[in-house]
């Protein structure tokens, strides 16, 4: 399988990654180089093989359903670009 | 005073604990070395003030008789570990101004053991690379040079700052992380020791995520003993990481002189890969002879799916990366594009401006293999391959206790040599990546120098949670190799 320019534009959009038009073709070639290489996995018969879900056999831990982290609002805002008070700021989304 | 930096971590520990030198003296020695080595671009952020303050606190503890196991020992921290109040970049422009408000569990464990932080170490952007060349802060340069050459070599990656700092004697040990070889490749090409522990042995909490089912923290240090000491301090059972395993952490150092008598060492025939440097193939054979001479039994084993490990990895890792890196949106933290025309534009431009070429490439591959219509063909198939790769190891371990393999297909290469073609760079991890897919522990130990005088490493792959036996066998290799060489200081200013 390989990707065309339209697919590259579509996945860039899905990934929310701006791709300038002149970068679409080189990116297509790079991705196709990698995809052509992973193609060899098709040689392997995986019929009836379960997909791996965890490398270490362990049951997920349970914990008490209690609040352990509280009042971090100030700390959470320290790194927010354009944050004001305890609000994250984004461009207007509703007209 | 420069000889202080030649101490191994164990020697420094004993000197500080025995009050032969103060923690402050020791730390000052490393601060001076660090500040004089800026030509190597090893530290993204130096924290000498924090280091000296921590050292003073250590001296007070030693005086009071309440010293802890790593009291006063200066370490470097890979800039992927969140450090409270100290900028953490993950080698990316997108986190250029990010100052964590919390401490990663592993680094907190080290501070709780008395260690001293010298600064944050360079790495490939989001740990995606094998040479430290994808860092937004510029490549880190290896202290090693080939004989009669001034060509700048890579220190391996992604933990290139960690390996270079240890090899250049700028710290006693360093934290690192390994998703496909990022501890072991750098250790191998810099003549240092590195261990990727079993998945779940060290908490991932507070370490910037790349591929969560593969990421694992571990140390790089000068010797097997030092590495064992550091892993003991770094590992813990952590409620903040649901994949952290509920097993007590053994005293790894206690057993390292146990020898290899009676151990069965497997040689996987599929690791005789075409294109492997003949000097590495030779050191691999020598390694097997060394272990045999010390009483181990050498057996040939087969890991039939080895050749599929790298392509499997380059589906699984980008898929998880595309998901993990979705959090960088220009809103809550990280780089934010100027004057966005709407919310989508804010997301798309913040991410495109903040991420470098390799990260963008992996996000797109990951998005593609997870997208509707392609999931079964790529991601699901890769997860099935992962089961087969893990089964290979389970079969092999019926015949042996651990495996001995090369660590890299060639010694350190020149900066710029492999960066142009992604797949060429990916192939450099051919011997390391299988271990991450199977969740197993693996230790890299320096085994010799090539004719150009560059270090070559060997890898020991163990059974899950059997790091203790790996350290024993690694120590046996270390004794046999008896490597005294270290890079000559050409970088000091």
Residue range B333-344, pLDDT digits in tens = 999 999 999 999
Please report, for residues B63, B212, B311, B367, the alpha-carbon distance to residue B316 in angstroms, rounded to integers and kept in the order given.
51, 10, 9, 11
Least trusted range by pLDDT, from A67-71, B136-140, B294-298, B379-383: A67-71
pLDDT value of position B384 = 98
Mean pLDDT of chain B: 97
Q: How confident is the model at residue B47 (pLDDT cuts 50, 70, 90)?
A: very high
Question: Which H helix or E strand runs over B218?
Answer: strand B216-221
Residues B273-280, mean pLDDT to the nearest whole number: 93
Chain B contact for A62, CB < 8 A? no
Q: How confident is the model at residue B1 (pLDDT cuts 50, 70, 90)?
A: very low
* Number of domains, chain A: 1
Residues B103-132, mean pLDDT to the nearest whole number: 98
Cβ partners under 8 Å of residue A4, min gap 6: A28
Does the residue B308 lie in any domain? Answer: no
A39-48 contacts: CB < 8 A, separation 24 or more? A39/A1, A39/B311, A40/B307, A40/B308, A40/B311, A41/B308, A41/B311, A41/B312, A41/B315, A41/B381, A41/B382, A41/B385, A42/B381, A44/B305, A44/B308, A44/B385, A44/B388, A46/B381, A46/B384, A46/B385, A46/B388
Question: Which H helix or E strand runs over B481?
Answer: helix B467-481
pLDDT in tens, B55-98: 999 999 999 999 999 999 999 999 999 999 999 999 999 999 99
Does the residue B330 lie in any domain? Answer: no
Q: How confident is the model at residue A95 (pLDDT cuts 50, 70, 90)?
A: confident
pLDDT in tens, B384-422: 999 999 999 999 999 999 999 999 999 999 999 999 988
Cβ partners under 8 Å of residue B164, min gap 6: B40, B42, B122, B132, B140, B141, B142, B143, B155, B170, B186, B190
pLDDT value of position B231 = 98
Residues B134-139, mean pLDDT to the nearest whole number: 98
Question: Could B367 and A58 be called an inter-chain contact, meaning their C-beta atoms sit closer than 8 Å?
Answer: no
Does the residue B209 lie in any domain? Answer: yes
Residues B435-454, mean pLDDT to the nearest whole number: 98
Expressed as residue numbers, the domain containing B90 is 2-258+412-481
Does the residue B476 lie in any domain? Answer: yes
Tokens of B209: 């995520």
Q: How confident is the model at residue A94 (pLDDT cuts 50, 70, 90)?
A: confident
How far off is chain A from B241, nearest CA to CA, in Å? 10
State yes or no: cis peptide before A34, omega within 30 of 0: no
pLDDT at B322 over 90: yes
Identity of the residue in A33, A60, A78 whose CB atom sits nearest the CB atom of B99 = A78
pLDDT value of position B399 = 98
Residue with tokens 């151990």: B263
pLDDT value of position B429 = 95
Top residue of B242, B308, B368, B463 to mutate, by most chain A CBs within 10 Å, is B368
Check if the beta carbon of residue B226 is closer than 8 Å to that of residue B173: yes
Cβ partners under 8 Å of residue B161, min gap 6: B42, B43, B44, B76, B78, B79, B121, B122, B123, B132, B140, B155, B174
Domain of B106, CATH number, reads 3.90.1300.10
The rounded percent of chain B whose pLDDT value lies above 70 is 99
Residue in A with minimal Cα distance to B362: A31
Put simply, whether the predicted model's pTM sits higher than 0.90 gets the answer: yes
pLDDT in tens, B217-275: 999 999 999 999 999 999 999 999 999 999 999 999 999 999 999 999 999 999 999 88
| Rg (alpha carbons) of chain A, rounded to whole number | 23
pLDDT at B125 over 60: yes
Residues B306-324, mean pLDDT to the nearest whole number: 97
Domain of A20, CATH number, reads 1.10.20
Residues B182-206, mean pLDDT to the nearest whole number: 98
pLDDT value of position B450 = 97
pLDDT at B44 over 70: yes
Check if the beta carbon of residue B344 is closer than 8 Å to that of residue B391: no
Chain A contact for B302, CB < 8 A? no
Does the residue B333 lie in any domain? Answer: no
What is the Cα–Cα distance from B203 to B236, expressed in whole angstroms?
7
Does the residue A33 lie in any domain? Answer: yes
* Number of domains, chain B: 1
pLDDT value of position B85 = 98
Does the residue B32 lie in any domain? Answer: yes
Expressed as residue numbers, the domain containing A15 is 5-43
Residue with tokens 């040479």: B131
Give catalytic residues of B, as residue numbers: 78, 158, 182
Residue in B with minimal Cα distance to A68: B240
What is the Cα–Cα distance from B371 to B364, expressed in whole angstroms?
10
pLDDT in tens, A38-66: 999 999 999 999 999 888 877 888 889 99
Check if the beta carbon of residue B207 is closer than 8 Å to that of residue B217: yes
pLDDT value of position A74 = 93
pLDDT at B2 over 70: no
Question: Could A15 and B322 be called an inter-chain contact, meaning their C-beta atoms sit closer than 8 Å?
Answer: yes
Check if the beta carbon of residue B33 is closer than 8 Å to that of residue B169: yes
pLDDT at B467 over 90: yes
Does the residue B183 lie in any domain? Answer: yes
Chain B contact for A78, CB < 8 A? yes
The burial class, CB within 10 Å (0-12 / 13-18 / 19+), for A23 is middle
pLDDT at B302 over 60: yes
b/e burial code for range A63-84 (CB count within 10 A of at least 16 → b):
eeeeeeeeeeeeeebebbbebe
The rounded percent of chain B whose pLDDT value lies above 90 is 98
Assembly ipTM:
0.95
pLDDT value of position A68 = 87
Residue spans of alpha helices (H) in B18-169: 23-35, 48-64, 105-112, 160-167
Tokens of B10: 């164990």
Q: How confident is the model at residue B318 (pLDDT cuts 50, 70, 90)?
A: very high
Q: Which of residues 308-347 of B touch A (CB under 8 A)?
A: 308, 311-312, 314-315, 322, 326, 329-336, 340-347
């Amino acid at each position: 399988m390989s990707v065309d320019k339209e697919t590259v534009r579509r996945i860039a959009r899905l990934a929310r990654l701006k791709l300038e038009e002149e970068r679409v073709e080189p990116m297509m070639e790079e991705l196709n180089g990698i995809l052509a290489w992973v193609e060899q996995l098709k040689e392997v018969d995986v019929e009836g093989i379960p997909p791996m879900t965890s490398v270490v056999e362990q049951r997920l831990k349970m914990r008490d359903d209690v609040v352990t982290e509280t009042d971090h609002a100030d700390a959470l805002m320290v790194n927010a670009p354009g944050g004001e008070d305890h609000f994250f700021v984004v461009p207007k989304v509703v007209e | 005073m420069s000889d202080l930096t030649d101490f191994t971590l164990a020697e420094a520990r004993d000197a500080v604990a025995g009050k032969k030198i103060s923690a402050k003296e020791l730390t000052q020695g490393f601060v001076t070395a660090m500040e004089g080595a800026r030509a190597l671009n090893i530290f993204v952020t130096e924290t000498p003030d924090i280091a000296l303050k921590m050292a003073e606190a250590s001296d007070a503890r030693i005086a009071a008789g309440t010293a802890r196991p790593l009291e006063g020992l200066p370490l470097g921290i890979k800039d992927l570990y969140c450090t409270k109040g100290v900028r953490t970049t993950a080698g990316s422009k997108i986190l250029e101004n990010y100052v964590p408000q919390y401490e990663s569990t592993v680094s907190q464990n080290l501070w709780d053991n008395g260690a001293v932080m010298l600064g944050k170490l360079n790495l490939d952007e989001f740990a995606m690379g094998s040479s430290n060349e994808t860092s937004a802060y510029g490549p880190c340069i290896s202290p090693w040079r080939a004989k009669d050459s001034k060509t700048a070599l890579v220190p391996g990656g992604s933990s290139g700052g960690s390996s270079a700092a240890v090899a250049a004697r700028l710290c006693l040990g360093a934290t690192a992380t390994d998703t496909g070889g990022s501890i072991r490749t750098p250790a191998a090409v810099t003549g240092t020791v590195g261990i990727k522990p079993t998945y779940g042995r060290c908490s991932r909490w507070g370490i910037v995520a790349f591929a969560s089912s593969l990421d694992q923290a571990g140390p790089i240090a000068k010797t097997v003993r030092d590495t064992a000491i550091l892993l003991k301090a770094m590992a813990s059972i952590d409620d903040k990481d649901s994949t952290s395993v509920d097993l007590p952490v053994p005293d790894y150092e206690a057993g390292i002189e146990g020898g290899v008598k009676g151990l069965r060492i497997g040689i996987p025939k599929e690791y005789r890969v075409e294109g492997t440097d003949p000097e590495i193939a030779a050191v691999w054979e020598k390694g097997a002879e060394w272990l045999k001479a010390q009483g181990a039994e050498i057996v040939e084993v087969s890991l039939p799916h080895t050749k599929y490990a790298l392509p499997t990895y380059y589906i699984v890792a980008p898929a998880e990366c595309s998901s993990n890196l979705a959090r960088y949106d220009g809103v809550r933290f990280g780089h934010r594009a100027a004057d966005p025309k709407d919310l989508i534009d804010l997301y798309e431009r913040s991410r495109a401006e903040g991420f470098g070429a390799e990260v963008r490439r992996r996000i797109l591959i990951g998005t593609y293999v997870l997208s509707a219509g392609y999931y079964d063909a790529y991601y699901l198939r890769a997860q099935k391959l992962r089961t087969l790769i893990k089964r290979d190891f389970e079969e092999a371990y019926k015949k042996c206790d651990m495996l001995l393999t090369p660590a890299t297909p060639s010694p350190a290469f020149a900066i710029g040599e492999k960066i142009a073609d992604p797949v060429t760079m990916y192939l450099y991890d051919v011997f390391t990546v299988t271990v991450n897919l199977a969740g197993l522990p693996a230790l890299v130990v320096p085994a010799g120098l090539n004719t150009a005088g560059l270090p070559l490493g060997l890898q020991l792959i163990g059974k899950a949670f059997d790091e203790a036996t790996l350290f024993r066998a690694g120590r046996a290799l270390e004794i046999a190799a008896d490597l005294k060489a270290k890079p000559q200081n050409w970088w000091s200013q």
